[in-house]
């Protein structure tokens, strides 16, 4: 079992007494294995590459190469190896520099054995998780490396798709939830983010509600890591979609600003192949941050005149917002063929092609919504599910044309 694996530790410290004390402190922990000790930054880098430890205990004040530079070097060459800084320097500036270099934890001397052991076990768990995500690489048809867990390899970037409509009631959240599930069916891990911070209900479309939400990530938006993110995301077991929920109460929305939200979305695109963002119908700083971070924007409209009018207004201001209309896909949602307003007429009015038409399907969509379960999980042959999967394929094709990163259509 993974939990029974020993955490392999390398010590990097130029003081022989410190190295020996660290070794003695940890020798009685059966779950820790010491693999070596280095006396300088350069030797620490060489030994890390040779032994590939789970955790490096790194001093800052080292001969030749300082510990922060060595940390940065090791993290670039061995992304799964976690660095725990052990230093006499307790100034916040050193801590921040170390974390920005990629350190997992920062402990000050003299070391408490329980604190040290706990830090190593935490870091070791992260290292093993990172290694698991990098195993079994496969090569897709376009020659890009991927892995079977559906997550990204280091250096890859996922795609951000934001679903926005300037008119409430257009079905943004329904599209976001079901598109996330549809993309996940391609053996990809998908993140669904609720960007309607005051009254978002994306998590309820999955019948999931965790104790954590986006407000737990906002204070750390510029220093996020996989462990912190994994503790906040809620997994929908049936589909595998990972959900970042909105705050439980509207007043907590003020705890997240646009810059923080944008940083969170961009970080998630380094972890997940696809990040879908549901938004409010207001062009506030959160929505604009999501739009700015997007590779593609889905713009749902309905046959209602107010919806068409607001959609036209948004398309008019897109240039002013710095959004290329080429990355905006127009979606006709809840289409009722009994009404005289056809997709062709709407397309002509908006002077933009409609990329997908999702029919009115109340017998499938509404009951699924009431159950808190995306409708694409219920009946793949229903008109709504068929249209949604066609939208998925269109999205994938457009993203592939932008920059092909292991994108496949079903």
Please tell me the distance from the alpha carbon of residue 393 to that of residue 408, in angstroms, as a whole number: 8
Strand bridging mode 234-235 / 242-244: antiparallel
pLDDT averaged per 10 residues, the chain (length 410): 72 92 87 93 94 94 92 89 89 80 86 87 84 47 39 67 94 96 88 96 88 91 85 91 94 94 94 95 94 96 95 90 90 93 94 94 84 85 92 94 50
On the question of a common fold for 2-134 and 159-402, the answer reads: yes
| Domain ranges, ordered by start, for the chain | 2-134, 159-402
DSSP string for 138-190: EE-TTS-EEETTS-PPTT---EEEEE--SSTTS-HHHHHHHHHHHHHTTT--E
* Cα of 232 vs its chain's centroid, Å: 11
The architecture CATH gives domain 2-134: 3-Layer(aba) Sandwich (3.40)
Residues 6 or more apart whose CB falls under 8 angstroms from that of 58 comprise 12, 13, 44, 67, 70, 71, 83, 84, 85, 86, 103
Give the rounded distance of the alpha carbon of 362 from its chain centre.
Answer: 32
Do residues 180 and 208 lie in contact, with contact meaning Cβ atoms separated by under 8 Å?
no
Q: Residue 319 burial (CB < 10 Å; 0-12/13-18/19+)?
A: exposed
Chain centroid to CA 244: 9
214, 253 contact by CB (below 8 A): no
CA distance 50 to 270: 27
**Long-range Cβ contact pairs of 199-202 (< 8 A, separation 24 or more):** 199/246, 199/250, 199/280, 200/173, 200/245, 200/246, 200/278, 200/280, 201/173, 201/246, 202/173, 202/176, 202/177, 202/243, 202/245, 202/246, 202/278
Residues 108 and 116 sit within 8 Å (Cβ to Cβ): no
Can you give the pLDDT at residue 403?
Answer: 52
Query: 3-class SS at 75?
Result: helix
Q: Give the rounded percent of residues in the chain with a pLDDT score beyond 90.
A: 58
The three-state secondary structure class of 86 is strand
- The superfamily (CATH) of domain 159-402 is P-loop containing nucleotide triphosphate hydrolases (3.40.50.300)
User: Whose CA is closest to 35, among 3, 6, 65?
Assistant: 6
Is 287 strand, coil or helix?
Answer: helix
pLDDT at residue 4, rounded to an integer: 57
Look up tokens 């998590």; give the residue.
203
DSSP, collapsed to helix, strand or coil, labels residue 407 as coil
Q: Which helix (H) or strand (E) holds 83?
A: strand 82-87
| Burial class of 348 by CB neighbour count within 10 A (0 to 12, 13 to 18, 19+) | exposed
Closest CA to 148 of 309, 263, 273: 273
β-pairing verdict for 7-12 and 55-58: parallel
Can you give the C-alpha Rg of the chain in angstroms?
24
The model's pTM is 0.63
Q: What pLDDT, on a 0 to 100 scale, did the predictor assign at position 230?
A: 87
């Amino acid at each position: 079992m993974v939990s029974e694996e020993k955490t392999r530790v390398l010590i990097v410290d130029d003081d022989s007494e410190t190295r020996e004390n660290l070794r003695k402190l940890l020798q009685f922990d059966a779950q820790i294995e010491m693999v070596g000790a280095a006396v300088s930054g350069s030797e620490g880098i060489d030994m890390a590459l040779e032994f590939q430890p789970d955790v490096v205990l790194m001093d800052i004040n080292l001969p030749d190469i300082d510990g922060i530079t060595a940390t940065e070097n090791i993290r670039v060459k061995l992304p799964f190896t976690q660095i725990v800084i052990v230093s006499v320097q307790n100034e916040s500036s050193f801590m921040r520099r170390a974390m920005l270099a990629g350190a997992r934890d920062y402990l000050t001397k003299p070391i408490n054995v329980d604190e040290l052991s706990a830090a190593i076990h935490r870091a070791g768990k992260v290292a093993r998780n990172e290694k698991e995500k990098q195993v079994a690489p496969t090569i897709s048809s376009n020659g890009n490396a991927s892995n079977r867990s559906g997550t990204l390899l280091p250096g890859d970037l996922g795609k951000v798709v934001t679903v926005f409509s300037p008119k409430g009631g257009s079905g943004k959240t329904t599209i976001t939830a079901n598109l996330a599930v549809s993309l996940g069916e391609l053996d990809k891990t998908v993140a669904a983010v609720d960007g309607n911070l005051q009254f978002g209900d994306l998590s309820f479309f999955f019948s999931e509600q965790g104790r954590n939400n986006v407000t737990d990530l906002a204070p750390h938006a510029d220093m996020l890591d996989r462990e912190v993110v994994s503790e906040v995301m809620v997994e929908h077991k049936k589909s595998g979609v990972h959900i970042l929920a909105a705050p439980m109460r509207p007043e907590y929305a003020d705890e997240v600003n646009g810059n923080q939200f944008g940083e969170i979305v961009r970080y998630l695109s380094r972890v997940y192949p696809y990040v879908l963002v549901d938004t409010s119908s207001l062009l506030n700083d959160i929505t604009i941050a999501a739009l700015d971070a997007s590779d593609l924007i889905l713009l749902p409209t309905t046959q209602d005149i107010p919806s068409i009018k607001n959609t036209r207004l948004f398309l008019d201001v897109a240039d002013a917002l710095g959004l290329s209309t080429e990355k905006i896909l127009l979606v006709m949602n809840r289409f009722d063929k009994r009404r005289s307003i056809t997709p062709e007429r709407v397309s002509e009015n908006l002077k933009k092609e409609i990329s997908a038409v999702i029919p009115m399907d109340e017998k499938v969509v509404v009951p699924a919504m009431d159950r808190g379960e995306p409708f694409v999980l219920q009946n793949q042959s229903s008109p709504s599910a068929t249209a949604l999967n066609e939208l998925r394929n269109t999205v994938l094709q457009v993203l592939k044309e932008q920059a092909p990163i292991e994108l496949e259509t079903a």
